[in-house]
A and B are shown apart, each in its own frame.
Chain A
C-alpha cells in the first residue's frame, strides 16, 4: 500500500521541461547571485545552448554553499564550455542540425579534460549516435595513461565491429583490465590484446545492472 502510494505520487511528478529554470532556482540560489545567473541562462537560450547544465551548476553551487561570486563564476564557466562544445559539434558535423544532447555530452567530455581533436574525431565516426559513452570511454582510457590517439583508434575499431553505446565503455574497462593483469603489460600491449578480442570484449561484471554502478570502500571520517 505504501509503495503503491509512493509510486502513484511519483507518477504525478511533472517532467523537467514543464518547469522554467527560474522556478527551479527560486528559493535555492542566493539572491545575490540570481540576477547574474538569470542573465547567463538567458544568454544560453539566445545562443541555442542547453540550459540544463547551467541550472545544475547553479543548484550544485547553492547546495554546497559556494559564495555568490564563485557560484556565478562556476555557472559562467559552464556556459563557456557549452559554447566550446557547440563549436566542436558544428565543426565535426557541418551542415547538420546541432542537437543539445550532443553539445551537453561534449561539454561534459571537455570538463573531464578530453582534448578537442579527440572529441571531434569521435563525433565524426558516429554522428548520429549519442556521443556520451564513446567520449567517456576515451576519457577513461586517457585517465589510465593510454595514448589518446591509440585509445581512440581502438574505440573506432570497436565501433566498426559493431559495438555501440555503453558497450564502448566495456572496451575501456577491458583495456584497463589488460593493463592490470599479472606479469605486466605495457599500455600498447594491453590495447593490442583488447583489439584482438573485438568485438567480444567482456561485459562489465560489477554492478547489479551489469555495470550500472558499484561503489566500495569510500574513505571514512
Chain B
C-alpha cells in the first residue's frame, strides 16, 4: 500500500471536490491488492487487469456513493469482486481464442532452478485454487491472501460471517486435499 500520509477520507474529499488527479493516489494505494485478488479469482492476469481497470473507473464515477470513505478498501474490493463474478459468468473461456497465448518467461536470476521449482509450486496451488467454486475461491483469497478479517470479508462480499467461515473452511479442505494428492503423486 502506498502511504503518503493522507487518509483515504481526505483523498476522497479532494476527488469529489474536483481534483480528479488525486484519484491516482487511491489507485497506487490499492491497485496491487486488487490486481492480486482479481488474478486469483479469474486465473488470468489480462482478464484481471481488465476487471480492475473497469472497477476503478466505476469507483471513480460513483465515488460520491461510497457511504463510508474510511472503509474505501472494502468498497473497492467489493466492486472488483462483482466485476470478477460478472466476468466469470459471461466468459466460458478466459484465454484468447484462435491464437497461441505467449509463454510466460521465467524470472531472471542466477538461481533458475529455484525459480522453476517455485513456479511449479505456484502453478500447482493456482490449479488447486481455480478448481474451487468461485465463492469458496473468493473466501479463501480474501482471508488468506488478502489477510482480511471475517468482518471485512462480510463488507466486501455481502455474505454473512457464518457463511463466509463455512466457505473458508470448505475451501481449506478442498485445497489441502488437492495439495496432498499432488504431493503424493510427486513422491
Contacts and interface: CB of A to CB of B under 8 A. Distances in A.
A and B: direct contact (Cβ < 8 Å)? yes
Interface of A: 64, 143-145, 179-186, 216-221
Contacts of B79: 180, 182
Nearest to A186: B158
Decide if the interface of chain B is mainly helix, strand, loop or mixed: helix
A182 B75 contact: yes
A183 B90 contact: no
A184 B65 CA distance: 11
A185 B67 CA distance: 13
Contacts of B57: 216
Nearest to B79: A180
B90 A182 contact: no
Given A181-B65, A182-B75, 17 more contacts: A143-B86, A144-B86, A144-B89, A179-B82, A180-B79, A180-B82, A182-B62, A182-B66, A182-B67, A182-B68, A184-B78, A216-B53, A217-B50, A217-B53, A218-B50, A219-B50, A221-B102
A218 B49 CA distance: 9
Interface in B96-155: 96, 98, 102, 155
B127 to A, nearest CB: 22
A216 B54 contact: yes
A143 B65 contact: no
Nearest to B47: A219
Nearest to B99: A221
A27 to B, nearest CB: 22
B139 to A, nearest CB: 16
A216 B55 CA distance: 12
A140 to B, nearest CB: 9
Contact of B85 (A145, A184, A186, A221): A145
Instruction: Report, nearest first, the 9 A-B pairs whose CB atoms are least far apart.
Output: A219-B46, A184-B158, A182-B66, A183-B67, A217-B53, A182-B75, A182-B65, A143-B90, A182-B67
A145 B90 CA distance: 10
B58 interface: yes
23 contacts: A144-B86, A145-B86, A179-B82, A182-B62, A182-B65, A182-B67, A182-B79, A183-B67, A183-B68, A183-B75, A184-B78, A184-B155, A185-B158, A186-B158, A216-B53, A217-B50, A218-B50, A219-B46, A219-B47, A219-B49, A219-B50, A219-B96, A221-B102
A187 B102 CA distance: 38
A179 B62 CA distance: 12
Contact of B89 (A145, A185, A220, A221): A145
- Which of the listed residues A179, A184, A218 has the most CB atoms from chain B within 10 Å of its own CB? A184
The listed residue with most B CB atoms (<10 A of its CB), out of A143, A144, A183, is A183
A102 to B, nearest CB: 25
Interface in B1-59: 46-47, 49-50, 53-54, 57-58
Nearest to A220: B46
Contacts of B158: 184-186
Nearest to B155: A184
